[in-house]
Amino acid sequence: MPRLVVSVPTESLAEDLADLPDDVELIVWPMDAPTDREAIDIVVPPYMGGSAAAVFAQLRDVRTRLIQGQSIGYEHVVPHLPAGRVFANAASVHETSTAEMALALTLAAQRQIPDFVRAQDERRWQPVFAASLADRRLLASATAAWARRPRRAWPRSRCG
- From CA 102, how far away is CA 82, in angstroms rounded? 35
pTM, two decimal places: 0.68
Report the pLDDT value the prediction gives residue 46, as an integer from 0 to 100. 94
Q: What residues contact 65, with CB distance under 8 A and at least 6 apart?
A: 41, 42, 86
Cβ atoms of 100 and 107 closer than 8 Å: no
Domain chopping of the chain, boundaries: 4-88, 95-153
* pLDDT for residue 148: 61
Residues facing 40 on adjacent strands: 64
pLDDT, block means (10 residues), the chain with 160 residues: 91 94 96 95 90 91 95 88 92 80 88 91 89 76 59 52
